[in-house]
Structure 1
């Protein structure tokens, strides 16, 4: 192997910190890790392919597999996972009391292919009887950029207003409108997003659909055994084709970094993190989900990936289902 410099862009997770401290390295590779907010990473990688490897939205990556170029190759390193039933917000005067009340309503989303929205729509349809076609989706920015910090800015990954299903109703928010304000003002009835709207904190007109959202998330997990995946690691295809060994090398390195993050979470003598009852929370989580509750690899995540692909297909985002072997580099299929 020849020496290689690899630029990787992702958010500053505890599970990537060991690359920055030098605890994790790859023989023959100089890793240039760029800590960037996730939406900036997506925009720059999808738009200009600026990095050799990067974090990427799961829905965006799967969509690229249906393009002629197929510019990226997936590695089963899942940098972001999150339960999403706590991210359904409603107008308190809309009359929505339960999930079924969403039928026939206007629901704000950042884009139809948005990974968090795919999970929310899929779970609402499968578990709560809210068909994906039963609402009208209003696409728009959530906040006004001048009034927020950079972590609230959502830049659409690609123009994804067209879907393969003709019965899906999608409209764009009026020019100059933002979804958080539209929800507070009753111009939309609900909002599915990856973040909490600022109006949730500034007005009593915005609240969660599920006050007990953790219970609902746990119910989904107990029934399905799924901890939803949001983002994965991808390599630019041209980099991968020139260095096929990189797929397994990257997987192994990120796996080692995750194990180091686990070790820090399990420290009991001091508070490594600013959480007064972290040990208590860790005991609850591992009792329910197992010691490796944030698994990497294909085998441990097959059901979760299959479920997400099924949701994307049912929602008209992809023309046909993919086999999991089509999603990841062949060098890591047995992980």
Structure 2
């Protein structure tokens, strides 16, 4: 049998390990795993479409759907998910004791359209009554060593939203510590959180409790990234969407085994068993707290699409099913 050779650019997450090492092989496909960090993958794929299949920012992918001929089509596989309350940071001298105190403040974000910031702005507006028009956003590199963030997909800003690029040589982390910014919404932790604990703090110090309560109310573990196929490759071989979705489901299922193994610890976490038990408890007792698939995640995707549209990014209010190859929407029993 002649296999269809496809390149796949993705970070080597635990849920992707069985794909990377060959324990799971998609039927009829020779999948060449390219282990790149997310920023490199996003840049190369969104600018140059270098890979047949890749991990993509959910927000950037939705932006590509604004185009007359979208270059990608996704399958309901989500390599990265992350509660985002924990990555909101404040200058502790800026007079911010509650989220509502962010009104009128200066908030640094690496990039307006980045997925983490879309979730964070949406949560602030919906959950805490802080409209995106009530703060001033400043975009730029988090650290001095970071390259300036340039949007990889064209977009505009909605009326009434203030977005200003910081000056060359500046970085958000130092600006927060120096009081030039009042807060940072990010995906990563600014270095000044460790080097300047006297002035840089989390907006939600007890973030795990806040995030667990958020999940209990909403059932949302925010999706950050999606797996997308180059549309030209998919249209020439539509069967690959379903086949890849099935393979990724198998790989995710296999990632749970080392977490539950008790004869010896696969990871360097002495209290792993307790952490797994706590995670199950905080997430409603679910045995599989991290899941792919469309129906299981429809409500998460719908919320993100609401935020994307309300924040002036998506040109229309997409429906969740519009994001994916039609033949990949049904779940598999693995």
Determine if the TM-score, normalized by the shorter chain, exceeds 0.5.
yes
**Pairwise CA distance, 1:21:** 2.2
Aligned 8 A contact 1:111 1:161 in 2 = no
Match status 1:269 vs 2:263: yes
Q: Classify the secondary structure of the residue corresponding to 1:101.
A: helix
What is the distance in 2 between the residues matched to 1:157 and 1:236? 20
Q: Quick one: which of 137, 155, 165 aligns to 1:172?
A: 165
Which residue pairs with 1:320 in the alignment?
316
Which residue pairs with 1:258 in the alignment?
252
Which residue pairs with 1:148 in the alignment?
none
Which residue pairs with 2:19 in the alignment?
19
Q: Quick one: which of 183, 191, 206 aligns to 2:200?
A: 206
What is the distance in 1 between the residues matched to 2:154 and 2:186? 16
**Pairwise CA distance, 1:319:** 2.1
Which residue pairs with 1:227 in the alignment?
221
**Cα deviations by residue, 1:217-274 (Å, 9 ceiling, x for unpaired):** 1111111110000001000001101110100111011110011101111101111111
**Pairwise CA distance, 1:2:** 4.5
**Pairwise CA distance, 1:159:** 5.7
Q: Quick one: which of 296, 319, 324 aligns to 2:292?
A: 296
Q: 1:229 to 1:122 in 2, by over 3 A?
A: same
What is the distance in 2 between the residues matched to 1:160 and 1:275? 42
Comparing 124-133 and 229-238, the one that deviates more:
124-133
The answer for unaligned runs of 5 or more in structure 1 is 146-151
What is the distance in 2 between the residues matched to 1:217 and 1:206? 20
Aligned 8 A contact 1:110 1:140 in 2 = yes
**Pairwise CA distance, 1:129:** 1.4
Task: Calculate the TM-score normalised by the size of structure 1.
Answer: 0.95
Aligned 8 A contact 2:140 2:148 in 1 = no
Which residue pairs with 1:330 in the alignment?
326
Q: Classify the secondary structure of the residue corresponding to 2:63.
A: helix
Comparing 301-310 and 257-266, the one that deviates more:
257-266
Q: Classify the secondary structure of the residue corresponding to 1:80.
A: coil
Aligned 8 A contact 1:39 1:155 in 2 = no
Q: How many residues align?
A: 328
Which residue pairs with 1:181 in the alignment?
174
Q: How does 1:234-253 map to 2 (within 5 A)?
A: 234-253=228-247
Q: 1:34 to 1:183 in 2, by over 3 A?
A: same
Q: Classify the secondary structure of the residue corresponding to 1:191.
A: strand
Comparing 278-287 and 36-45, the one that deviates more:
278-287
Q: How does 1:51-200 map to 2 (within 5 A)?
A: 51-145=51-145, 155-158=149-152, 162-163=156-157, 165-200=158-193
Q: 1:153 to 1:173 in 2, by over 3 A?
A: closer
